[in-house]
């Protein structure tokens, strides 16, 4: 009799324990669903649509302050963004979250690359950029819009896909990071400045710039100072320019100063009045930034933006020791490290993760051609 009573008590206790556990799980599920919905609402308000599906897996735990990194992924150079992200992630223990901005057509390819390879532990969100955002800023012709590579303007819209971040990093896709990105993130942005850039004159990269090799290092190389609208700004033509391939931004200040609308205004004025220098190469994103940030930006440590690796003669300009010591390498210029004739492509190769769909191939010399 007593034995049976004890059994009943144990059964009742077990049942209560089960109920408690089930209740807890339901609460967690509720929390989870609420968070998912919040994300969905946020995405719906933007011209960009954050895609959170790739982010639901359990990722390696990286604690501490979140470092948002914005980078673009263009279909013809998805291999670039993959190598850049891999180098950043493996060289840091910081809590990095990539915000990969891409066009709708590349979404599926990018998702496969990020999920079916060693990149699958990388925390990221994919954001689709609608090229219509740029209508009326160059041309109203959709085909011409396509030709100007809409993603290069994504950096102008940083606060719209990072609505909650105060500080963020933007990086071009043709970079490799060898230092801890936390150091770059800790770049001091002075009060009243919305961004930090790397100056074109006093940087390690400008030493020995070859004249006429497509390198420009002052404002007159980017803007037509004979135009009335440019004259009126009262800027000095020989002011040192900066390279916007690496940006550390204070998005709070960016929003306060309406930087995005200012940049859009200058794009529209250029479309009507043709304000950019005739000799400008392919960096049509630079002139509006030079105007808006004239004498109003902070500086990035030169070793955090060693550039012109894509220019002719880069292999002669930099010693292998210097390239090894650089924290960030930027192959701006014609010769990309996934192409045939680039300098230091062996550095880039270390970080490249092959395309599981086999569409992207770095072009390499055959060993016997060497
Ligand atoms: C995005 O691309 C998919 C196919 O990849 C297509 O079905 C869809 O209509 C596109 N959406 C937009 C908004 O263009
Ligand atoms: C960013 O700018 C805001 C507004 O000026 C300022 O209060 C804040 O301290 C700045 N944050 C950083 C990290 O520089
Ligand atoms: C930014 O835009 C807001 C609203 O459009 C306006 O009230 C504010 O004065 C603008 N600030 C600057 C610095 O232009």
Taking only the tens place, the pLDDT of each residue in 146-191 is 677 889 999 999 999 999 999 999 999 999 999 999 999 999 999 9
Residue that has been written with the tokens 């490249």 in this structure: 352
Domain boundaries, the chain: 1-45, 131-159+172-369
Q: Ligand 1 centre and the CA of 54: distance in Å? A: 18
Q: What is residue 40's predicted lDDT score, i.e. its pLDDT?
A: 33
Answer yes or no: is pLDDT of 34 > 60. Answer: no
Read off the pLDDT of residues 216-271 as tens digits, 9 standing for 90 and up. Answer: 688 988 999 999 999 999 999 999 999 999 999 999 999 999 999 999 999 999 98
Q: Ligand 1 centre and the CA of 104: distance in Å? A: 6
Tell me which of 288 and 333 has the higher pLDDT.
288
Specify whether the CB–CB gap between 101 and 127 falls below 8 A: yes
CATH 1.10.540 matches 131-159+172-369: no
Pocket probe mutation, ligand 3, options 159, 192, 258, max atoms within 8 Å of Cβ: 258
Closest CA to 245 of 199, 201, 279, 210: 199
Q: What six digits make up the tokens of 186? A: 């800790």
What percentage of the chain has pLDDT greater than the value 70?
78
What percentage of the chain has pLDDT greater than the value 90?
61
Answer yes or no: is pLDDT of 33 > 60. Answer: no
Q: How far is CA 306 from CA 90, 217, 248, 251, in A?
A: 20, 14, 15, 24
101 vs 91: CA distance, rounded Å? 22
Tell me which of 25 and 183 has the higher pLDDT.
183
Average pLDDT over residues 10-32: 60
Q: Ligand 3 centre and the CA of 253: distance in Å? A: 12
Highest mean pLDDT among 22-26, 60-64, 355-359: 355-359
Average pLDDT over residues 313-323: 88
Range in 41-45, 130-134, 227-231, 273-277 with the lowest mean pLDDT: 41-45
248 vs 186: CA distance, rounded Å? 9
Pocket probe mutation, ligand 1, options 104, 107, 132, max atoms within 8 Å of Cβ: 104
35 vs 48: CA distance, rounded Å? 19
Residue that has been written with the tokens 């012109």 in this structure: 308
| Main-chain phi, psi angles of 28, to 5 degrees | -60, -40
Tell me which of 309 and 213 has the higher pLDDT.
309
Residue with CA at minimum distance from ligand 3 atom 6: 258
Ligand nearest to the CA of 248: 2
- Look over the chain and give the mean of its residue pLDDT values, rounded to a whole number: 84
Q: Ligand 1 centre and the CA of 261: distance in Å? A: 28
Ligand nearest to the CA of 255: 3
Q: Which of ligand 1's atoms lies nearest the C-alpha of 104?
A: 1
Q: What is residue 345's predicted lDDT score, i.e. its pLDDT?
A: 94
Highest mean pLDDT among 51-55, 338-342, 350-354: 350-354
Read off the pLDDT of residues 345-358 as tens digits, 9 standing for 90 and up. Answer: 999 999 999 999 99
Q: Ligand 1 centre and the CA of 40: distance in Å? A: 18
Read off the pLDDT of residues 286-299 as tens digits, 9 standing for 90 and up. Answer: 999 999 999 999 99
Q: What is residue 35's predicted lDDT score, i.e. its pLDDT?
A: 40
Interaxial angle between packed helices 78-90 and 107-115, expressed in degrees from 0 to 180 and rounded to the nearest 10: 30
Average pLDDT over residues 96-124: 96
Average pLDDT over residues 323-341: 93
Q: What is residue 63's predicted lDDT score, i.e. its pLDDT?
A: 82
Specify whether the CB–CB gap between 227 and 331 falls below 8 A: no
- Tell whether ligand 1 has an atom less than 6 A from the beta carbon of residue 279: no
Ligand nearest to the CA of 257: 3
Tell me which of 7 and 175 has the higher pLDDT.
175
Answer yes or no: is pLDDT of 281 > 70. Answer: no
Confidence of residue 54 (pLDDT cuts 50, 70, 90): very low
Q: Ligand 2 centre and the CA of 300: distance in Å? A: 17
Q: How far is CA 264 from CA 131, 180, 210, in A?
A: 14, 33, 33
Q: Which of ligand 3's atoms lies nearest the C-alpha of 258?
A: 1
Q: What is residue 203's predicted lDDT score, i.e. its pLDDT?
A: 52
- Tell whether ligand 3 has an atom less than 6 A from the beta carbon of residue 53: no
Q: Ligand 2 pocket: which residues have CB below 6 Å?
A: 166-167, 189, 250, 252-253, 256
């Amino acid at each position: 009799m007593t034995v049976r009573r004890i059994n009943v008590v144990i059964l009742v206790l077990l049942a209560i324990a089960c109920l408690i556990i089930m209740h807890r799980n339901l609460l967690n599920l509720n929390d989870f669903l609420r968070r998912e919905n919040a994300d969905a609402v946020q995405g719906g308000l933007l011209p960009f649509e954050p895609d959170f599906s790739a982010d639901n897996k359990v990722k390696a735990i990286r604690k501490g302050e979140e470092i948002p990194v914005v980078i673009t992924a263009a279909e013809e150079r998805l291999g670039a963004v993959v190598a850049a992200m891999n180098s950043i992630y493996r060289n840091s223990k910081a809590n990095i979250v990539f915000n990969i901005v891409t066009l709708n057509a590349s979404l599926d390819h990018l998702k496969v690359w990020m999920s079916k390879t060693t990149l699958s532990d990388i925390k990221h969100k994919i954001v689709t950029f609608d090229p219509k955002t740029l209508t009326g800023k160059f041309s109203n012709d959709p085909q011409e819009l396509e030709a100007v590579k809409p993603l290069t303007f994504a950096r102008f819209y940083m606060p719209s896909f990072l609505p909650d971040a105060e500080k963020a990093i933007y990086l071009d896709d043709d970079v490799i990071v060898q230092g801890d990105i936390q150091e770059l993130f800790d770049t001091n942005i002075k009060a009243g400045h919305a961004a930090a850039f790397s100056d074109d004159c006093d940087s390690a990269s400008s030493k020995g710039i070859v004249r006429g090799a497509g390198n420009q290092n002052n404002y007159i190389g980017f803007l037509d100072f004979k135009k009335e609208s440019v004259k009126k700004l009262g800027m000095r033509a020989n002011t040192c320019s900066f390279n916007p391939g690496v940006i550390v931004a204070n998005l709070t200040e960016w929003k306060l100063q309406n930087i995005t609308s200012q940049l859009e205004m200058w794009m529209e004025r250029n479309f009507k009045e043709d304000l950019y220098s005739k000799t400008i190469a392919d960096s049509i994103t630079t002139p509006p930034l030079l105007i808006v940030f004239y004498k109003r930006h902070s500086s990035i440590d030169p070793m955090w933006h060693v550039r012109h690796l894509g220019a002719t003669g880069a292999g002669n300009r930099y010693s292998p020791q210097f390239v090894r010591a650089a924290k960030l390498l930027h192959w701006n210029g014609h010769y990309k490290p996934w192409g045939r004739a680039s300098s230091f492509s062996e550095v880039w190769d270390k970080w490249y993760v092959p395309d599981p769909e086999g569409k992207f191939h770095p072009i390499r010399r055959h060993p016997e051609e060497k």
